[in-house]
Amino acid sequence: MARPIVVAFDVMGSDHGPAEVVRGAAQLSLEAPHIHALLVGDRAVIDEALAETRHSGERIAVHHAPDAVGMDEKPADALKRKPGASVLVAAGLVASGEADAVVSAGSTGAGVLACARTFELIPGVRRAALASVYPTRRLHGQKEDPFSLILDVGATVEATAEDLVAFAVMGSAYARIISKNTNPSVALLSNGTEAQKGPPRVVEAHQRLASLPKVRFVGNVEGVDIPKGTADVVVCDGFVGNVCLKMLEGVQETVVELATYAYKEKLRWRAGMAMLSSGIQRLKDVTDWEQYGGAPILGFDRIFIKAHGRSRAGAIANAGKVAAKSVAHDLGRAIRENLT
């Protein structure tokens, strides 16, 4: 029997409480025999939730961590005060080789800091990037994912040209492995498609990427191209990426609110909505972010998957699968090879 891939779950971070992460890991233990879950957090809380949940006890272990980082805490201060914080302990277990990857639905800042304190940056990478997936009109890769990858969305607020090139390489490697996209297209986010558009760091990054043979660079894209899915991987700095992502989420929520309003307001509108309901549901199904589990913090020699804070059990299980897939395909090595 081959050695299983062990994924450490930071149990204490989810908006829905520790039990939801435990249920996600339990679901994973039933669906993926080659993945083992190491639940890191308050042992009593984990045990109580696990005992009530259908799971395979042979594929789950618990590692007690006495502290947790709250969403309202400053990550740096919290990690300094709480060396036993679950996210830090989980990362430590990966660094020591007891686990192969971390999944956390907790504070993004704490996750990035835990990585920085515990893991090593891949040679050639100066700064880490947080990636995220966003639903698009065009399908991507062999799996026909209706998502494209955007990075960075918050780990590195000010990125240099060199950082943007590294992000492009990392995003390309991730899309190749996770979306089974053999030759993903990579674009820089700018205020125009021309090579000379954008701030100096973007113009310089464009020049460098254009001459980089291992990345299929397709030039610049504009904000409007993100939901269209013009490129498989969109690269930007953390400040721009975070603003874009939050705006896109806001637009999506507003559309849903408007639809709800329309449904309640007039009988004719309600009838129209009812007629469209199967189409809307289909759209919802294909763009369901929960199926994609989480997004990676890229640039470190170990795998860290950041799940959405609102992730339910299914999304947590999928995040575990994404983590295991990244480990199985040696994402770190793929990035390293493309950078040299």
Which residue ranges make up the site for other proteins (CB under 8 A)?
A: 1, 3-4, 6, 30, 36, 43-44, 47, 50-64, 66, 98
> b/e string for 237-269 if b means 16 or more Cβ within 10 A?
bbebbbebbeebeeeeeeeeeeeeeeeeeeeee
Residue 300: strand, helix, or coil: strand
Q: Nearer Cβ to other proteins, position 168 or 317?
A: 317
Q: For residue 31, which amino acid is it?
A: E
Q: Shortest Cβ distance from residue 330 to other proteins (Å)?
A: 20
- Residue tagged 């800042």 (tokens): 109
| Bridge-based pairing state of the strands 35-41 and 233-235 | unpaired
Residue nearer to other proteins on the CB measure, 317 or 334 = 317
Encoded amino acid at 15, one letter: D
Q: Decide whether 37 or 226 has the Cβ nearer to other proteins.
A: 37
Q: Which is nearer to other proteins, 83 or 272 (CB)?
A: 83
**Cβ neighbour number for residue 77 with a 10 Å cutoff:** 10
Q: Is 198 left (phi over 0), alpha (psi -120 to 50) or beta?
A: left
| Nearest distance from C-beta of residue 192 to other proteins, angstroms | 53
Nearer to other proteins, 62 or 203 (CB): 62
Minimum separation from the CB atom of position 147 to other proteins (A): 32
Nearer to other proteins, 4 or 314 (CB): 4
Choose between 25 and 298: whose C-beta lies nearer to other proteins: 25
Minimum CB separation of residue 218 from other proteins in Å reads 44
Rounded least distance, CB 336 to other proteins, Å: 28
**Would strands 294-298 and 101-104 be described as parallel, antiparallel, or unpaired?**
unpaired
Report how far residue 208's alpha carbon sits from residue 189's, in angstroms, rounded to the nearest whole number: 15
307 Cβ partners below 8 Å, 6+ apart? 14, 103, 104, 105, 293, 294, 315, 316, 319
- Minimum CB separation from other proteins for residue 326, in Å? 20
Q: Provide, rounded to whole angstroms, the least separation between the CB of residue 28 and other proteins.
A: 13
